[in-house]
Amino acid sequence: MPGVPPRRDDEITAARLATHVMPLDQGPEGYDLFKHEKDGCVRAVFRPGG
């Protein structure tokens, strides 16, 4: 892509910030993990379609 610099080896990617990745249908459970800081959840990421 023009204008987009290449990624550096020491960059933090969004994938490294997600502590819990789960299907979209587990949204309520994921929100509860995040809200109550259960299981070390810092950021829950939901993926559509499982």
- Please answer whether residues 22 and 47 qualify as being in contact, where contact means their C-beta atoms are separated by less than 8 angstroms: yes
Q: Averaged over 19-47, what is the pLDDT?
A: 93
Q: What is the pTM of this model?
A: 0.60
pLDDT band at 3 (very low <50, low <70, confident <90, very high): confident
Nearest to 44 by CA among 18, 25, 14: 18
pLDDT band at 18 (very low <50, low <70, confident <90, very high): confident
Segments making up each domain of the chain, as ranges: 17-44
Q: Mean of the per-residue pLDDT values for the chain?
A: 85
Tokens of 49: 């379609």
Amino acid 29: pLDDT:
96
Which residues lie across from 45 on neighbouring strands?
21
Amino acid 50: pLDDT:
64
